[in-house]
Structure 1
């Protein structure tokens, strides 16, 4: 008796041209299968391919279209696995949570050499099936505006359906119990945790009544509103036009329009002095080439005695060095032009290019895993409303994979989220 599986998904080729199956290449297909066999030798998960299980057991996935699955992996190691999911070539087995399945894979990207996904000799051949970042995703002023708009201007209504009422699109702060029983993570606990995170940033920066605050990459203005409610004067900047419009409406609804100015402005063009410069999960969109410019801009905007607080998604330094020039699934489908730094890279850039000292205040990796689980559950729950906004089932698979893939990264420790205090040396 076979397990019952949902109908196999098939994307609309005209809408999703990148998911058209690549031309078959027998050599690459054989290489992809060989890679799966190597990965599966010590993988605590199961890959069921042509009804043959690979792996040590545990969370399981079933490949529906083995030829297409192998063609995608053989064509592009950076995007093939995720693209195969979007295309419907594989699914988790019934009863298997997608993030639970992806955790064992994410653990193989950690900085522990004994747990690497592929042996070193095989990793040295990745260049054969790995693409470089395209030039059109450069983060100069026009490129950054285009890259940011593709994600953050996607649909204010869509984001509103799965974020909490504060519309905070970054890791919440749940405290020491963040990693406990993700299955019980509740949407009701998200807003208090987001407000706790916002307050932790404002407290670290010493924001109080009369403080002059610059919020770089302000999102939908939750941090700016919270700072204004303390009596601060806030300049909030973004380069996402639709996001800026909603941010202005939210500021007005909160009754703090007299204290918050929203500007559609690149961080490189900001002027003035501020007692606190804040930037929450914005550095990921800056690009390595512009990290020195970004931190220099923060330093230049700080008044004497002022401090900065940056919240950043980070990865281990050696993994950043190994992957910084590759074109990943996330860059292709979610965050064009994005690159996660390491804490070491941030401290190195600030030491070499600025007079700032970067000190880690708090690690929020487990908190982000919990945040992402709540977002994904809410996204699935609200899918009928999101679909009515004009998004199709392939978009749903893309966002489910993005949220689950990210959750797995934080649960495995491959990713972390840190709050850093920036002070002048």
Structure 2
């Protein structure tokens, strides 16, 4: 559970009192920098079972690492259905959000009676608010075909619907722990965040009852823009499995507007250049809704192209706060919650361990720097002074042939700072940051 602001303040006061008595709780400089141990923390981009492999022969460095990710307690039935698509699946990060993004898109098209992106977009927020509640493809599509307003609830969307901006009003976060080079499910804790009153109350256009012979533009064509390659590729398998599952279950329930939904695969490459090329191909192929991109910075890079083409961009994993007010002409949506919520959860995890000198290392992009700023603000609200927080960034690699991240100088700064907590915000490449910390003599606490 997250501690309250009052509890945090009390903890800090107690620490200060103990400092006066012992001179050993949060001094400006650790007495023995060479023996200083630091707890390691991560985020949704690296708290995955597939992440330790990025450290190769140093995989044990993750043991004891903690972090947060947007995640609801997933029903075993949902996990089983995902594994029917991919029996080797070991992570479930953003699987629920991917499934729901596709399901919401399909239901919005059915309610709109059209595959025109603008008409679909006008229904998306309304699909999640008001109307008859339904929780599976068959029931929801049946109601939508009859012209019934619906309120979709499912694996990621459990408490409340979307805001006017087209993003979750509430969220669930999991606190994850690495033990034995894998996530220890027994230690996972879940906590809710957000505000149900922020859900939209606007009335969408009246649903259209499905009629024989009506011109709808069917079939609905959905294109993938997910990270098959690049630094975020370690998060691809659960999203890919969820996308396949959603399309399979929608079509098994009769499809949308009388026809099976068409899925066209596509890679964002964790690269603006790759993603832009994929978007161009999707536009040429007549895609109506694009599911992606994986990273917030990639979505920001391609959003102008998507909007210009009059298509919908619907991400299951973008968390950058800046996307809430992006110039999207009403065509951008996400099932992942904004970082304003994750930043609070991360700060609480760090504070619960009593950390007093905190280094926050982030990839230099909208996701990394955005979340870094939110966590810093939350720590300062809790009483951690500015001089006890050190911010560092690194340039993420561009493309498959890019040289590895060189964080040697930054790692030395972390060691000299005497950090007792290091938060690393990044994707697969953040393994190189962790190796650099160890090489610089930062003793990671396990």
Q: TM-score range by the shorter chain?
A: under 0.3
Q: Is the helix fraction higher in 1 or 2?
A: 1
How does the TM-score come out when normalised to structure 1? 0.28
Bigger relative contact order (CA 8 A; separation at least 6): 2
How does the TM-score come out when normalised to structure 2? 0.27
